[in-house]
């Protein structure tokens, strides 16, 4: 799938009367690796959810372009998303969860579900229910699904949350091998291991005072 161009123009989001950010402009080109940085509650996850189409702006616009322009309501077809707050189906086994996701979003070229399970490092648990997984195991599965499904845009919100040191090394290796040429956006609390591969930076805090 072709990497996306994303144009954020005079974007603003508020909850009630309080602006989370305002007058935000950013051009994200195909293949860019962008990290959105900021402290807890700063609005970086909100911006990522807006880019994903989960929630809407109060002002401004975001436009997407692959081979042609893409409407924001259709952007979900183009993205892979991993975050600690996205829920898996607890009553599915690992294999059932993978089969369910792949039915809607195919894997990258030549990849099979058995490959995904092996690369996740969770093959010993493929027939266990998701509800039996630790938070770290769930996060590994989310990252593997996001990286190995075919998409033009990869969104990662605090991707090493709940991962131990060994799993962080696994994450870094997976990024290096499978991020490919797609556009990647990472949200991070300034943890270098999460965005070690990013070359562009956006600090959401820079758009806080403007919005007050």
Q: What is the mean pLDDT of residues 57-72?
A: 86
Query: What's 140's domain CATH number?
Result: 3.40.50.300
Domain span including residue 51: 5-211
pLDDT tens digit string along 29-51? Answer: 999 999 999 988 899 999 999 99
Residue 211: the pLDDT is 43
pLDDT tens digit string along 165-179? Answer: 999 999 999 999 999
Ramachandran angles phi, psi of 105, nearest 5°: -135, 105
Domain count for the chain: 1
pTM summary value: 0.93
Cα–Cα dist 121/116, whole Å:
9
Containing 189, the helix (H) or strand (E) segment is: none
12 contacts: CB under 8 Å, gap ≥ 6:
19, 21, 22, 23, 24, 57, 58, 59, 60, 211
């Amino acid at each position: 799938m072709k990497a996306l161009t994303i144009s954020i123009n005079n974007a603003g989001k508020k909850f009630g009367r309080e602006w989370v950010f305002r007058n935000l402009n950013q051009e994200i080109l195909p293949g860019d690796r962008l990290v959105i940085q900021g402290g807890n509650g700063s609005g970086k996850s909100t911006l990522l959810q807006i880019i994903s189409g989960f929630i809407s702006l109060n002002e401004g616009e975001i436009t997407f372009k692959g081979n042609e322009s893409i409407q924001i309501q259709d952007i979900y077809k183009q993205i892979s998303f991993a975050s600690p707050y996205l829920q898996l189906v607890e009553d599915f086994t690992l294999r059932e969860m993978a089969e369910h996701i792949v039915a809607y979003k195919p894997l990258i070229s030549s990849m099979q579900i058995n490959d995904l399970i092996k690369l996740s490092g969770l093959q010993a648990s493929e027939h266990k229910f998701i509800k039996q997984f630790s938070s770290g195991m769930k996060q590994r599965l989310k990252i593997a699904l996001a990286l190995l499904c075919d998409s033009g845009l990869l969104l990662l919100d605090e991707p090493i949350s709940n991962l131990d040191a060994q799993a962080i090394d696994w994450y870094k290796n997976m990024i290096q091998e499978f991020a490919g040429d797609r556009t990647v956006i990472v949200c991070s609390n300034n943890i270098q291991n999460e965005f070690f591969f990013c070359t562009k930076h956006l600090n959401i805090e820079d758009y806080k005072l403007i919005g007050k």
